[in-house]
Amino acid sequence: MGRVYALNVVGTIPAELESLRYLANLNLQQNYLTGPVPSFIGKLTFMQYLGIGSNNFTGELPEELGNLTKLEQLYIDSSGFSGPFPSTLSKLKNLEKLWASDNDFTGKIPDYLGTLTKLVELRFQGNSFQGPIPASLSNLSNLTSLRIGDIVNGSSSLAFISNLTSLNILILRNCKISDNLRTVNFSKLGRLTLLFLGNNSLTGSLPDAKSSSLTNLDFSYNQLTGSFPSWYSTFRTKLFTTRHSMFARFSRINKSMKGSDNTIYEVDAANLGVASYYVTRNTRWGVSNVGIFNDASSRNYVINSSQQFQNTLDSELFQTARMSPSSLRYYGLGLENGNYSVKLQFAEFAYPDSKTWESTGRRIFDIYVQGVLKEKNFDIRKAVGGKSFTAVNKIYNTIVSKNFLEIHLFWAGKGTCCIPTQGYYGPMISALSVTPNFTPTVRNGEPKKKSKAGVIVGIVIGALVLGSAALVGIFMLISKRRKATQQQEELYNLAGRPNVFSNAELKLATENFSSQNMVGEGGYGQVYKGKLPDGRVIAVKQLSQSSHQGKSEFVTEVATISAVQHRNLVKLHGCCIDSNTPLLVYEYLENGSLDRALFGSKSFNLDWPTRFEIVLGVARGLTYLHEESSVRIVHRDIKASNVLLDTDLTPKISDFGLAKLYDEKKTHISTKIAGTLGYLAPEYAMRGHLTEKADVFAFGVVALETVAGRPNTDNSREEDKIYLFEWAWTLYESGQALGIVDPKLKEFNEKEALRVICAALLCTQGSPHQRPSMSRVMAILAGDIEVTEVVTKPSYITEWQLRGGGDTSYATSSYYSGSTTGEFREKRETAPLNSYPGIAGRIDEGR
């Protein structure tokens, strides 16, 4: 046994260790060892325990570690390693404990981990792994503790945890999980005591049942809906479901201090704990904290130091700081709108500047101001050259436009967790201040009245700020608002008061709706790119006077999208109704629409994994709209141009102007036809029969276009390939379905491609009853349901072929037989003569 534990040894691992061939236990943790781990470690093949965590190594793990096949415990956490996780570790079949958190491992979490079935503990937090989390982890039925955090990209499923019935602790923090929470039966995880699924994109509602042993749950910062379950009433002190924290009146420490610049600092409530919040009695500022320090014997949310701090004239200001294990927010309430300077003040306490194991500690967190990421992976010590007890000031300019300011410090899982003690991590701040960059019109929160008319006047005063990490509201604006018009009141009542922008704001953002900023135009109206003063880039949709969509449809869209949030749906920031035409303000997605990416003049080179993720993302979004949203929604105009791509090429469904809400008891809605030819389901085009199966049909078209890399009609091609679905069925019936795959894809997963093709053919069946639900489509795409044979070729394709293809008018096909609305007949009469069922032209224009 070799034990050099917590002795602050400096240097590299000595070469003499190579001669200890029968060494079974080597513990080098909590030292200051540097350099790479030597490859001769792989020669110590009798090793059962290897601990090299909490050191300062560099480089990658040596592949020779895979030779230690007798190894049962491996501790490499907080050691400075980087690069991919070695594939040779797949040979460690006897491994029971693997701690690898807080390094800089990259690439994907190895799928082979699912073969290490003796694993009891697995810790992979705070690295730079890419998603998704491998489904093979479901094989680790002996796991009692699983901790994964801060996945860089990709989309992960939660389904794999269903088999992990031995779990006591499960932490999946910031892992980009986008499943419905209902996919897991938590009552089967009867041994769980701690469950953390915060900071993901989970949908659905909280589980109806839980085990009695589960005493700590955190679902905060997801997209959950629905009501609280019955067990919540006896559990609320330990359940975190926050999306936007609330306020309450807590006791307050009535103490203040003056800084060297005569700034007055107030102290926030010292009793904030696991899930708590505080607002001053005059509602000028607020602070909230969410999270629990894992494995900590004592949970200190306020820490102190009597040392003198460098780089500041106000050392006393930094001797007390607030620390949070997850999320710490400060709110300025009732601020006068305008431009402000936000000053955040930090100093690290516990990590010494000497070469000791304690000095390897790293506190890393993210900083947001007004929802905008200002610092990613901010490290207090690194900002001042690796020194502790040294003040750091970060200053940001920001815009207050709604009389409200939010500062958010967030721990995504990076950095050390246990240096110098267990539970020493997360955001930490000593003081902050907010100063207006303009002359305020109110004084100290109380406006003065100059006349009976109530004209507000005031004088400039010194900014009020908070010490010990608390924020004070600077000036409270009290002013009379003009009476809202009847149209505004209607919108507010129906839409639940979404964020309202003024016309002046949006004119400034879009340079007075300059034609150079116009990025699209449809039946709805024109779309402009804009930039708000706070830096957000937006897309502004302008309701055209000639649009068939009137004010009521506009109100419906605002109400609908405001209530619906999902990672695969375009986010609505707000609206404007004080202009001549109402406006919608959306997030701007710089990569444009899917049709441009696939077959535009400047199309992207989308590889197969990206295309498959796009298809999955669209399916997830539709599943949410149809089955998981608090209101059931039929989009009615799903098409490639209504699928937008963000920076990471994550698909987001846009354009809810054609959406119709319907009650659970209704089987269909007969209404005017609204949609785009080429994506219209037969029963909807023919009879106005609308269910979610109309969206399923359109999804099938989009999915096949994505696989083929071409639109569903292309007159430049050979005659038998002009119409995508006719060609696809010809190939499918001859056993060559993969022939439809885009020839630009030199490599692709044949099984995945075939699943998408089969799903597309199922989705576009002529009868809505033959089409699967979107949740079943998801199962097909994921490979959970095998599709051995598509039912039959739809009759509308067979009839079209019998009529002679392009020589037969789409308008005279039996696809259109039967009664329909006058509006639809008018559109039908102008359809191109060479139209193919579901291909060209538009109905009711859409947008």
| DSSP output for 30-49 | SSEEEEPPPGGGGG-TT-SE
List the structure tokens of 26: 């080597």
- Please name the residue that has the structure tokens 């989309």: 155
**Residues 381, 361: Cα–Cα separation, whole Å:** 10
**Residues 802, 17: Cα–Cα separation, whole Å:** 81
Instruction: Provide the pLDDT for residue 605.
Output: 83
**Residues 349, 20: Cα–Cα separation, whole Å:** 40
Instruction: Identify whether 110 is preceded by a cis peptide bond (ω within 30 of 0).
Output: no
Question: What are the DSSP calls for 224-243, one per residue?
Answer: --SPPPGGGGGTGGGEE--S
Q: Which residues of the chain have pLDDT under 70?
A: 1-2, 232-255, 268-270, 281-283, 297-299, 441-499, 522-524, 543-563, 577-578, 601-603, 656-677, 685, 687, 788-791, 798-847
316-351 pLDDT, tens per residue? 888 888 889 888 999 888 788 888 999 999 999 888
Instruction: Provide the pLDDT for residue 731.
Output: 92
If you ran DSSP here, which 8-state letter would residue 785 be given?
Answer: S
| Triad 247, 253, 259: Cα angle to 5° | 105
Phi, psi dihedrals of residue 40, rounded to the nearest 5°: -65, -10
**Residues 69, 48: Cα–Cα separation, whole Å:** 8
Instruction: Provide the pLDDT for residue 365.
Output: 94
Instruction: Provide the pLDDT for residue 559.
Output: 62
SS3 732: helix
Give buried/exposed letters for 787-822 (b at 16+ CB in 10 A, else e): beebeebbebbeebeeeeebebebbebebbeeebee
- Find out whether 847 and 657 touch, Cβ atoms under 8 Å: yes
Q: Which helix (H) or strand (E) holds 594?
A: helix 594-599
Q: Which helix (H) or strand (E) holds 457?
A: strand 456-457
Phi, psi dihedrals of residue 747, rounded to the nearest 5°: -130, 135
Helix runs in 688-773, H state only: 692-708, 724-733, 750-763
Name every residue whose Cβ is closer than 8 Å to that of residue 49 and which is 6 or more positions away in sequence.
24, 25, 26, 27, 71, 72, 73
If you ran DSSP here, which 8-state letter would residue 834 be given?
Answer: T
Name every residue whose Cβ is closer than 8 Å to that of residue 801 and which is 6 or more positions away in sequence.
726
CA-to-CA dists, residue 383 to 13, 346, 454, angstroms? 30, 10, 49
SS3 770: helix
- Please name the residue that has the structure tokens 């589960």: 214
**Residues 504, 487: Cα–Cα separation, whole Å:** 18
Name every residue whose Cβ is closer than 8 Å to that of residue 126 and which is 6 or more positions away in sequence.
101, 102, 103, 149, 150, 364, 413, 414, 415, 417
List the domains of the chain with CATH numbers.
2-240 (3.80.10.10), 256-467 (2.60.120.430), 492-587 (3.30.200.20), 665-829 (1.10.510.10)
**Residues 94, 96: Cα–Cα separation, whole Å:** 6
From the list 697, 744, 743, 702, the residue with the least C-alpha distance to 614 is: 702
CA-to-CA dists, residue 177 to 152, 203, 778, 782, angstroms? 12, 10, 15, 15
- Find out whether 525 and 543 touch, Cβ atoms under 8 Å: yes
Active-site entry in 77, 366, 637, 655:
637
Instruction: Provide the pLDDT for residue 290.
Output: 82
- Find out whether 680 and 841 touch, Cβ atoms under 8 Å: no
**Residues 101, 79: Cα–Cα separation, whole Å:** 9
**Residues 278, 266: Cα–Cα separation, whole Å:** 14
Instruction: Provide the pLDDT for residue 320.
Output: 86
Q: Which amino acid is at 679?
A: Y
- Clarify whether 655 is annotated catalytic: no
607-663 pLDDT, tens per residue? 999 999 999 999 999 998 888 887 778 888 899 988 999 988 999 998 764 444 333
Instruction: Provide the pLDDT for residue 815.
Output: 30
If you ran DSSP here, which 8-state letter would residue 739 be given?
Answer: G
**Does 541 carry a binding-site annotation?**
yes
If you ran DSSP here, which 8-state letter would residue 327 be given?
Answer: E
Strand-strand pairing, 25-27 and 49-51: parallel
Give buried/exposed letters for 133-168 (b at 16+ CB in 10 A, else e): bbebbebbebbbbbbbbbbeebbbbbebbebbebbb
From the list 205, 169, 212, the residue with the least C-alpha distance to 187 is: 212
CA-to-CA dists, residue 328 to 202, 392, 404, 469, 607, angstroms? 21, 18, 17, 10, 40
Instruction: Provide the pLDDT for residue 601.
Output: 67
From the list 214, 212, 615, the residue with the least C-alpha distance to 197 is: 214
Phi, psi dihedrals of residue 380, rounded to the nearest 5°: -60, -50
- Find out whether 122 and 139 touch, Cβ atoms under 8 Å: no
- Find out whether 346 and 438 touch, Cβ atoms under 8 Å: no
List the structure tokens of 348: 């690290």
Instruction: Provide the pLDDT for residue 560.
Output: 62
